[in-house]
Structure 1
Amino acid sequence: GQPSPQGSIPPHPAPQHYGVTSPISLAPPKDIDCVQTQKLVEAMRPFGVFEDEEEQNHRLVVLSKLNSLVKEWISELGESKNLPPSAAANVGGKIFTFGSYKLGVHTKGADIDAVCVAPRHVERSDFFQSFFEKLKHQEKIKNLRAVEDAYVPVVKFEFDGIEIDLVFARLSLQTVSDNLDLGDDSRLRSLDIRCIRSLNGCRVTDEILHLVPNKENFRLTLRAIKLWAKRRGIYSNILGFLGGVSWAMLVARTCQLYPNALASTLVNKFFLVFSKWEWPNPVLLKQPEESNLNLPVWDPRVNPSDRYHVMPIITPAYPQQNSTYNVSTSTRAVMVEEFKHGLAVTNEILQGKSDWSKLFEPLNFFQKYKHYIVLTASASTEEHHLEWVGLVESKIRVLVGNLERNEFITIAHVKPQSFPGNQELSDSSIQMTVKVENAESVNIDLTYVIQSFTDTVYRQANNLNVLKEGMKIEAAHVKRKHLHYFFLSGNFFLSKEQLEKKPRFIIIESSSLTLVTNLQNCYLVLNISSTDFKIWVVRLFERLEILRG
């Protein structure tokens, strides 16, 4: 259901112990906390954080129809595999949701993550063949595609306007009933590793909800933190920041430490706790439980590779994993700085010196650094371009790692947002920055690092047999004053003369982007509406200390 915007005050104080330590404070909320929480809700509304009842009901209808399709398919499949008709009619099967939808923190228009759980007569190949065909013949299902070679194989589609990512798990049970408990570890026994991964999303989501003192206060706090992380450019698992489940676990840990607090207090305490956290000490929601299933779990005492994780956040369901293995020294440093900034802003807000909208002001990435790397990915067709962009994006962490090894670079900072390039060429670009020590006296040559990165991408594409004619990646070390040359769209670009005009702001619109340029301090992209391509600008950065805070 839709969370109540104000959160909720428990009729009785929450139990005194959630998580692996005692709480920091059991203080109940005061009247001012209720007022501040309502103000937080109002500040979030303009960002489409809360879904209306109509869309909420529509999602329920779509999920119900999908669940019926699954049961129908599993029954038909049973008959085709010579199960007795009475048995085939009662083998069950069920759709379980997980992720932001199951947590109750999805935004307007967000997709739904779900797992199709089937009994033992259904093979994974059946899911990707006969069920895929069944979906293909549904009038209201569009954009159907299968990604069988993913880490967690998935079927993606749009069902009556709702985007769904559906994974598959086959249990070693004759029937799958509607009241099946996926939290039972014995369900994992003798399962294919892909099925275990598919079930993991559900098991982790359910366990997180079970481990927080007050679900409504958790949900509202998580909505605020996710919005903040996206606005500040640190919401991306693939680029080395945190994804949705990691943010959920950090918020859940905060709720455990302040079990009676409302969202306005919890947001502030979130920043307090994690700006001071002594990484790489792991964040745990519960003590890991032993199991005789012998699945690999996160344990730096046993696994040498786990000792190199710089920001471990450990999933609470067996088999316990670190959800942040992509985080690097640089991305952690960027996030810790953002935690400190968030703490300063929320302290001001709670003291009445500022309002909540300030928390959601975007990071001005283009004012912050002097040096950038601009990566441009291009392909000859839109289909090839999407595939190429995905591969390039997945390898950016390699570039970050190589940059971090340069003795003069202290941080490499990637911006998750991408920008459109030349429409005719189907271009894309990403941004990233690196903080340079003694930048005025050091002249760093990044030619080798950049060439090594592009070679790695081409080699990987070749090995995966996805390299097509026309797929190109270019990388350039660019100073901030020249960055405007890379914001191209068809025949449009922002000229140096336009930058030197008197007015402080120029707004230029084209079919693919709206660019607002801050003439005093450089470039700020406010809105991108093109879906034809992606651009990353990977920037090498030196922080402008005068703009700090």
Structure 2
Amino acid sequence: AKKAAWQCGLPKQEIVATCATILTYGSYGLGAHCSESDIDALCVGSSFTTMAKDYFIVLRNMLKSRPEVSEIHCVKDAKVAMRLKFDGITVDLPYAQLRVLSVPLVETLCLTLCLVKKKIPSLNLATVRCAKIFWTRSLMPIRLPCSPHEYGHSNITRSTFYKIRAEFLREHNMTRDILRPDFDWHSVFETFPYLKKYARFVKIYLSTSDKSELGDWIGWLRSRFRCLLVKLEEVQGLCDPNPTEYVDTEAGEPNVVFYWGL
């Protein structure tokens, strides 16, 4: 933030006072993460910092210079505009901007989001994954763990609503006898039999001649998944989008493959 302030020609006293911050949220911010969890973090910048320059160029170069950081991928028009690995742990790093010189060093993301909405009423908070407001047309409001209560919904389509509902019912049926001493917990944690569940699939194949570019293209593709899913629903009805990334080992170029059940 101080480098950006200096480049903008701000007075010395303002350069000294300015700062940005990174806040965690989601399972990591709530202390509910496990060894396999990724980290959801929000980069909050000052009024004079820009996403195009300071976030995608300056911050990215700073991260690239750190030996702990690897696999930095940026997708400019995605909700999660930057994704990276820190010591092998995946970190999703969206960006938000406040119309203040120095970002308040609040302890919780909830307070920051309140500041964002107060300072920038016109800001489209849909870019911040943890700050979506429930609209009355939503198929399924998801209550977020914050105060005051907010609701997320933008990833809910007819297919994802059906999938969530079906999983709740499936797990409910599996745990009816949970209080029995001989209850088998292994069945609860078994992998969903995706390949046995469906007879037809949509195959999404992405390849590139340069392996270093594949990660950025995967991020771009994932940012379009919801639009594709809505189109498929119009033609096919329900679709079960499997987020697992597969690799076609018979192809001669770097690739990733997704299979969605129909």
> 2:75: which partner in 1?
147
Aligned pair 1:115/2:42, yes or no? yes
> 1:354: which partner in 2?
183
- Conservation of the 8 A alpha-carbon contact between 2:106 and 2:112: no
- Conservation of the 8 A alpha-carbon contact between 1:312 and 1:325: no
Aligned pair 1:82/2:9, yes or no? yes
Alpha-carbon distance in 2 for matches of 1:140, 1:388: 22
| Aligned counterpart for 2:157 among listed residues 327, 341, 365 | 327
| Aligned counterpart for 1:184 among listed residues 111, 114, 117 | 114
**What's the offset of the Cα at 1:186?**
6.7
> 2:123: which partner in 1?
193
**What's the offset of the Cα at 1:360?**
0.9
Deviations 1:22-74 (A, max 9, x none): xxxxxxxxxxxxxxxxxxxxxxxxxxxxxxxxxxxxxxxxxxxxxxxxxxxx1
Alpha-carbon distance in 2 for matches of 1:189, 1:108: 36
> 2:101: which partner in 1?
174
2:176 counterpart SS class:
helix
1:351 counterpart SS class:
coil
Alpha-carbon distance in 1 for matches of 2:95, 2:116: 18
Alpha-carbon distance in 2 for matches of 1:385, 1:415: 19
Alignment of 1:223-234 (within 5 A): none
1:129 counterpart SS class:
helix
Alpha-carbon distance in 2 for matches of 1:135, 1:312: 36
> 1:373: which partner in 2?
201
- Conservation of the 8 A alpha-carbon contact between 2:229 and 2:239: no
Alpha-carbon distance in 2 for matches of 1:319, 1:127: 29
**Closer/same/farther in 2, CA of residues 108 and 311 from structure 1, 3 Å limit:** same
- Conservation of the 8 A alpha-carbon contact between 1:141 and 1:159: yes
Alpha-carbon distance in 2 for matches of 1:80, 1:412: 49
Alpha-carbon distance in 2 for matches of 1:403, 1:416: 19
Alignment of 1:116-131 (within 5 A): 116-124=43-51, 125-131=53-59
> 1:364: which partner in 2?
193
**Closer/same/farther in 2, CA of residues 109 and 417 from structure 1, 3 Å limit:** closer
Alpha-carbon distance in 1 for matches of 2:45, 2:35: 30
Deviations 1:124-157 (A, max 9, x none): 33222333333333344332332222245x2333
Alignment of 1:66-81 (within 5 A): 74-81=1-8
**Closer/same/farther in 2, CA of residues 383 and 163 from structure 1, 3 Å limit:** same
What is the aligned-residue RMSD (CA, Å)? Answer: 3.5
Aligned pair 1:534/2:260, yes or no? no
> 2:166: which partner in 1?
337
Paired residues in the alignment total 252
The two structures have a TM-score, normalised by structure 2, of: 0.75
> 1:399: which partner in 2?
232
Alpha-carbon distance in 1 for matches of 2:13, 2:167: 59
- Conservation of the 8 A alpha-carbon contact between 1:144 and 1:158: yes
Structure 2 residue identity aligned to 1:193: L
Alpha-carbon distance in 2 for matches of 1:167, 1:197: 11
- Conservation of the 8 A alpha-carbon contact between 2:68 and 2:86: yes
- Conservation of the 8 A alpha-carbon contact between 2:79 and 2:94: no
1:164 counterpart SS class:
strand
Structure 2 residue identity aligned to 1:130: V
Alpha-carbon distance in 1 for matches of 2:8, 2:185: 59
- Conservation of the 8 A alpha-carbon contact between 1:377 and 1:388: no
**What's the offset of the Cα at 1:399?**
2.0
| Aligned counterpart for 1:156 among listed residues 78, 83, 87 | 83
**Closer/same/farther in 2, CA of residues 76 and 354 from structure 1, 3 Å limit:** same
2:188 counterpart SS class:
helix
Q: Which is higher, the Rg of structure 1 or of structure 2? A: 1
Aligned pair 1:424/2:146, yes or no? no
The two structures have a TM-score, normalised by structure 1, of: 0.40
Alpha-carbon distance in 2 for matches of 1:179, 1:388: 33
**Closer/same/farther in 2, CA of residues 533 and 350 from structure 1, 3 Å limit:** farther
Structure 2 residue identity aligned to 1:372: R
Structure 1 residue identity aligned to 2:174: V
Gaps of 5+ in 2: none
2:70 counterpart SS class:
strand
Gaps of 5+ in 1: 1-73, 205-296, 301-305, 405-410, 427-531, 541-549
| Aligned counterpart for 1:105 among listed residues 29, 32, 54 | 32
- Conservation of the 8 A alpha-carbon contact between 2:134 and 2:153: no
**Closer/same/farther in 2, CA of residues 88 and 142 from structure 1, 3 Å limit:** same
**What's the offset of the Cα at 1:162?**
3.5
Alignment of 1:32-111 (within 5 A): 74-111=1-38
Alpha-carbon distance in 2 for matches of 1:117, 1:376: 34
- Conservation of the 8 A alpha-carbon contact between 1:118 and 1:169: yes
1:89 counterpart SS class:
helix
Alpha-carbon distance in 2 for matches of 1:375, 1:402: 16
How many percent of aligned residue pairs carry the same amino acid? Answer: 21
**Closer/same/farther in 2, CA of residues 76 and 335 from structure 1, 3 Å limit:** closer
**Closer/same/farther in 2, CA of residues 419 and 332 from structure 1, 3 Å limit:** same
**Closer/same/farther in 2, CA of residues 401 and 378 from structure 1, 3 Å limit:** same
1:341 counterpart SS class:
helix
